[in-house]
Amino acid sequence: NAGVMQNPRHLVRRRGQEARLRCSPMKGHSHVYWYRQLPEEGLKFMVYLQKENIIDESGMPKERFSAEFPKEGPSILRIQQVVRGDSAAYFCASSPQSLGKRHYGYTFGSGTRLTVV
Amino acid sequence: QQQVKQSPQSLIVQKGGIPIINCAYENTAFDYFPWYQQFPGKGPALLIAIRPDVSEKKEGRFTISFNKSAKQFSLHIMDSQPGDSATYFCAPRGNYQLIWGAGTKLIIKP
């Protein structure tokens, strides 16, 4: 019963390169959330996706960042032309369905630590 | 706009002591009040959570106290152990978004 799987665990990119972060939700979970954590800070919401749908991307920078959750395969967070300020830990969480009154549980992955050099 | 204020930033407690971490919020629409525990290099893990219709919840050595009128909730760790050393986050929920506090780095000295 694997939890939320994120890979790679660590990713180093030079400025200007692209970073692709993958998240496989828990079995049976169809909702995925991406969060970013800067050092010594809490997590900041980026985007909420269901299969083939972006539900809310209000926390995601308008430029260079995109996310998808295809019908088959993991959710991908893509950062184009990375800059030093993109260095952070990126966490993915999943839930079994929309978090209405009766469902409160998010399960987080171990994160991808992106370092831009 | 800071919606969630967590305090203290860091805390050192002797083994067996009772660390208390506080979280103050502004948004009265929050409907779920969890505490997460995060170890270095790991993702946050749900520790304990409370709904706003309850004033206290206890799970093992962990207790949440909730004061709706003051818009505050706190985490108490009874009989703290060195293995409890971690960063703790409050993250009240509005709709599906968790709004995270800045974290409290807790160290339990043996």
- Cβ–Cβ below 8 Å for A44 and B49: no
pLDDT value at position B106?
98
Shortest CA gap B92–chain A (Å): 11
Give the mutation candidate from B97, B104, B105 for the A interface (greatest A CB count, under 10 A). Answer: B97
3-state secondary structure of A86: helix
Nearest CA in chain B to A42: B102
According to DSSP, the residues that pair with B33 across neighbouring strands are B50
Report yes or no: A64 and A48 within 8 Å, Cβ to Cβ.
no
pLDDT value at position B47?
93
Facing residue for B42 by CB, picked from A43, A105, A110? A110
Shortest CA gap A72–chain B (Å): 24
**Tokens coding B6:** 């967590």
Residue A58 has pLDDT above 50, yes or no: yes
Q: What is the pLDDT of residues A68-103, one digit of tens each?
A: 999 999 999 999 999 999 999 999 999 876 655 444
Task: Tell whether B13 is within 8 A of chain A (Cβ).
Answer: no
Report yes or no: A89 and A59 within 8 Å, Cβ to Cβ.
no
Q: What are the distances in angstroms from CA B80 to CA B24, B53, B60?
A: 23, 28, 11
Task: Tell whether B102 is within 8 A of chain A (Cβ).
Answer: yes
Q: What is the pLDDT of residues A19-37, one digit of tens each?
A: 999 999 998 888 899 999 9
Task: Tell whether A25 is within 8 A of chain B (Cβ).
Answer: no
Out of B1-10, B40-49, B74-83, B101-110, least confident range? B1-10
The distance from CA B14 to its chain's CA centroid, rounded to whole angstroms, is 19
How many Å apart are CA A8 and CA A14, to the nearest integer? 16
CB pairs under 8 A between A and B: 56
How many Å apart are CA A93 and CA A105, to the nearest integer? 10
CA dihedral A12, B101, A100, A77 (to 10 degrees): -10
How many Å apart are CA B83 and CA B47, to the nearest integer? 14
- Cβ–Cβ below 8 Å for A42 and B34: no
Task: Tell whether A61 is within 8 A of chain B (Cβ).
Answer: no
- Cβ–Cβ below 8 Å for A45 and B89: no
Q: What is the pLDDT of residues B3-58, one digit of tens each?
A: 899 999 999 999 999 999 999 999 888 888 999 999 988 899 999 999 889 999 99
- Cβ–Cβ below 8 Å for A40 and B103: yes
3-state secondary structure of B61: coil
Tell me the average pLDDT across A8-16: 97
